[in-house]
Amino acid sequence: MKELSIYVHIPFCERKCNYCAFVSYCTGEKEQNDYIDDLCKEIEKRKCDGVVRTIYIGGGTPSILTPQQIEKVVKAIYDNFDVYDNAEFTIEANPNSITQELLLTWKKLRVNRLSIGVQSLKDKSLQKIGRLHTKNEALEKIKLARKCFDNVSADLIVGLENENGKDLCRYAGQLLELGVKHISCYLLEVYENTKLFKDVCEKKYFPLSDDQTVSAFNKLANYLQDKGMERYEISNFAYPDYESKHNLNYWARGEYLGFGMSAHSFDGKNRTANADSFEDYKSGKTFQENLTVTEELEEIIMLGLRCKLGVQKDKLQSLGFDITQNVYYDDYIKQGIIQEKDDTIYLNHVFYHLSNTIIANLLP
């Protein structure tokens, strides 16, 4: 029986953060209820054979759904799919919308992993990027969440104005003290059409420079590894056994089904995306992406080298590409940038900060 992962997209937020380019909207309860109905219909319609290893409810802000709304979505999944008893089940949450009632509801629904959008632990920074929570609220809600859930992850952003590596290490230390088991560290991206882009253009906001960002990230990465976390992917750190199985499945190019607006699905060969507007999603519009062999090879190399899974040379060879013939390959092996173990090659994590160039050089 094949194994698969399920992703569910909840495109609602209380307020748009200044840096956000995700598919998320601030709507009323009626629109949310209509969407939940459509989502449940989609889940039912696309029921298929296979056993679900991981479920991930992301967004947007899934934690703004009421207990009744989230119960409906989870029921649709369990009514239509076989799910392993020990499946990893993650829900994304923002500190300001976490309540004791929601935590207990999630627990009852078999959620066993929380991913909390902390982003920073400095009030001025949080305010400047348009987050709705304060530092104290984030810490209080993590404390509350940890009473119900062992497996709690937190997101931090690297590159915010006036936040150097030392600040980030201090935040990480506070999170680890509260028992957070996994930290995702994202680089601040300033996308066009965001409020942050406007603020940067108008010189009202000053993100760190590229060099400052790399230096802050490296400091944070070293700190987390010194604390016993493994950097199992370029941006992700976890204590042993607390890696996100859901994300590892993406990076291994395992099959997944994505439900909801803008969600992607992958059948092991091709990818399908749902439409990213309410109207088109309701009408069932999807986009098919058929990968060429070169695109497939690029994806295998990029995803594998960015994480601890590495890349199997045999797999590349079966698609007609011998990576050992690449002009940079021998040099990278000699310098320890690329490491070989049996049939698999890995990017030495000491060189993760140069991954873009290294990976680009190794592509077919």
Least distance in angstroms from the C-beta of 53 to ligand SF4: 25
**DSSP state string for 182-241:** EEEEEE----TTSHHHHHHHTTS--PPPHHHHHHHHHHHHHHHHHTT-EEEETTEEE-TT
Q: Residues 102-141 vs ligand SF4: string with x where CB under 6 A?
A: ---------------x------------------------
Least distance in angstroms from the C-beta of 126 to ligand SF4: 11
3-class SS of residue 329 = helix
Q: What is the 8-class DSSP label of residue 363?
A: -
**Paired sense of beta strands 152-158 and 182-187, if any:** parallel
The answer to whether residue 32 forms part of the interface with ligand SF4 (CB under 6 A) is no
Among 5, 32, 69, 94, binds ligand SF4 (CB under 6 A): 94
The answer to whether residue 13 forms part of the interface with ligand SF4 (CB under 6 A) is yes
Q: What tokens appear for 135 in the block?
A: 């530092």
Among 4, 6, 10, 17, binds ligand SF4 (CB under 6 A): 17
* Measured distance CA(175)–CA(179) in Å, rounded: 7
* Measured distance CA(65)–CA(77) in Å, rounded: 16
Query: With CB under 6 A as the contact rule, which of the stretches 13-21, 48-56, 244-252, 354-362 interacts with ligand SF4?
Result: 13-21
Among 61, 96, 235, 244, binds ligand SF4 (CB under 6 A): 61
* Measured distance CA(131)–CA(54) in Å, rounded: 29
* Measured distance CA(211)–CA(233) in Å, rounded: 21
Q: Residues 200-219 vs ligand SF4: string with x where CB under 6 A?
A: --------------------
Least distance in angstroms from the C-beta of 1 to ligand SF4: 34
Binding positions for ligand SF4, rule: CB under 6 A? 13, 16-17, 20, 22, 24, 59-61, 94, 117
